[in-house]
Amino acid sequence: MPPDLTNYIRDIPDFPKPGILFKDITPLLGDPAALKAAVQALAAPYRQASLTAVAAVESRGFIFASAVACELDCGFIPLRKPDKLPAATTSATYELEYGTDTIEVHTDAIRPGDRVAIIDDLVATGGTAVAAVDLVKRLGGELVGCSFLIDLAFLGGAARLAPCPVHTVITYNGD
Task: Compute and round to an integer the Cα radius of gyration of the chain.
Answer: 16
The answer to whether the beta carbons of residues 92 and 135 sit under 8 Å apart is: yes
Residues contacting 35, CB < 8 A, separation 6+: 28, 29, 67
**Alpha-carbon span 158 to 165, nearest angstrom:** 9
For residue 77, what are the CA distances in angstroms to 1, 28, 116, 162, 166? 31, 23, 9, 22, 19
Nearest to 46 by CA among 167, 170, 133: 167
* Catalytic annotation, residues: 60, 97
**Alpha-carbon span 112 to 161, nearest angstrom:** 21
Nearest to 111 by CA among 63, 80, 159, 75: 75
